[in-house]
Amino acid sequence: MNEMMTMWAMFALLTVLAILFVVVPFLRKESILTLDHDANAERIDIYHQRLEELNQDLNSQRIEQTVHDESILELKQRLYHELSPEKQLNSRGNNRIFALTGVAFTLAVSGVFYSFTGSQTQIENWYEAIDKLPEYGERAVMQQGEPLSQNELQAFALGLRTKLANSGDDAVAWMLLGRVAMSLNDYTMAKQAFDKALQMNPDNNNILVNYSQVLLVEGSETGMNQAASMLSKVLQSEPSNIDAISLLALIAYERKDWVEAKTAFEVLLSTMTDSDPRYSMISQRIAEIDGQLSDEKQQTIGEMTGPSLAVTVTLADNLTKSVPENATLFVFAKAIDGPKMPLAVEKLTDFNLPLMVTLDDSMAMMPNLKLSNFEQVVITARISVDNSVTISNGELEGQSEPITLTGSAQNHTVEISHVITSTGS
């Protein structure tokens, strides 16, 4: 309210200055004009005395008629000039009228001009927004009282911008302004606000999650990549952050990354009860993703040509403790009558046995060396200690019997049953 009073005081001061600008010239002119009645009476007496003297001089023929007439004319002119302040007597009243007219005209023009071009309503709303900023904050952040209306959200944003302009940068205020801008669908202002907040507090998970939401709504590929990076950062420090997981699920869904989307939605579902209104929606979304995965699998099978070997790899019980740390599992097929180079290879650095892998023509190391070009193969499963397919002492291995390829999907099991020694057995 103090700011409002200051504003109107400034308006009043400007009005006074404008009135003085109009009135002062008239007042200054009047101050110069003075009137002395006694002095004017003396001048008139002197005029009559001098006129009588001139008539006497003419009658006594001391001056000629021409000189007499010229002297009278000069005498009248001198009296006229000496009495000039008295002749200005009526102009004194006129000056006051002009001054009052100028004041009225100035006030009228100023009032009409301001009523059409002024922003008095907006200014009043601005100061009202500043005064109500704490109240808006409680209703928006603390969820106290009625939710903010659209007009109140706009006023809240205006109050926050004013606070930031007057008080300097405040990460919390910038984040709050970003959230208000999101509610107003002003995503440009929201991004600018969150950028400011992140500059001051780059590791704040709340800012990162809210900023990611803006980028996700924006929908650009660059924005979604940036959002995914921010959310990954959040989950590194807070793996159970539900908001981050939700947004990552939506990003994966938009990208049609069905496996990642399903995993994220299943995590969300595990945090809810059946009574949660979101439970049904997320369950439906997971069912939809399962359908997409099934369709993709069928499409892949339909497009796949040539033989396919589904290999189940197991480990003999007596070798369970012999698996080295940081081991690598290689599963590959070699032709019985053909080159030594594998026809299909699967390499796994993170595995738990038993497991299943699929070998097919898509895994060929060279275009002319693939399963469909040979009739019989042997499948080898080897646990390597040095991340290389080359045989080394101490590695674990198992092989299948010779397999005749049929050109369609086949299932086989390979048991890793022995340790490779220097003799190769």
pLDDT in tens, 322-356: 888 888 999 999 999 888 888 999 988 888 888 99
Q: Is the model's pLDDT at 117 over the cut of 60?
A: no
User: What's the domain count of the chain?
Assistant: 3
Q: What is the pLDDT of residues 158-192, one digit of tens each?
A: 667 677 666 767 777 787 777 777 777 788 888 88
Q: Are residues 293 and 312 in the same domain?
A: no
Give the pair of three-digit tokens for residue 178: 């970003």
Residues 138 and 259 reside in one and the same domain: yes
Indicate whether 28 and 170 sit together in one domain: no
Q: Is residue 213 part of a domain?
A: yes
Nearest Cα to Cα of residue 382 among 335, 338, 424, 337:
424
Name the H helices within 60-88.
Answer: 65-82, 84-87
Higher pLDDT, 424 or 350: 350
pTM for the model: 0.45
Q: Which of 246, 263, 297 is the last residue of a domain?
A: 297
Report, as an integer, the average pLDDT of 291-309: 70
3-state secondary structure 333-364: EEECCCCCCCCEEEEECCCCCCEEEEEEHHHC
| Rounded Cα–Cα distance for residues 159 and 389 (Å) | 67
pLDDT tens, residue by residue, 380-423: 999 988 877 778 888 899 999 999 988 778 899 999 999 888 65
* pLDDT value for 31: 44
User: In the numeric block, which tokens belong to residue 189?
Assistant: 């202002």
Structure-model confidence comparison of residues 139 and 334, the more confident one: 334
* Residue 399: inside a domain: yes
Assess if residue 210 is contained within a domain: yes
CATH number at residue 371: 2.60.40
Indicate whether 161 and 256 sit together in one domain.
yes
Q: Cα angle vertex 129, ends 185, 196, to 5°? A: 50
Residues 410 and 375 placed together within one structural domain of the fold: yes
What is d(CA 273, CA 285) in angstroms, rounded to the nearest whole number? 16
pLDDT single digits (tens) 247-281? 988 888 888 888 888 888 888 888 888 888 888 88
Is the domain of 21 the same as that of 111?
Answer: yes
Residues 320 and 278 in one domain: no
In the predicted model, what is the mean pLDDT of the chain?
Answer: 77
Say if residue 247 is in the same domain as residue 344.
no
Whether the predicted pLDDT of 287 surpasses 60: yes
Residue 171 lies in a domain: yes
Judgement on whether residues 413 and 365 belong to the same structural domain of the protein: yes
Domain co-membership, 111 together with 130: no
Domain that holds residue 391: 308-419
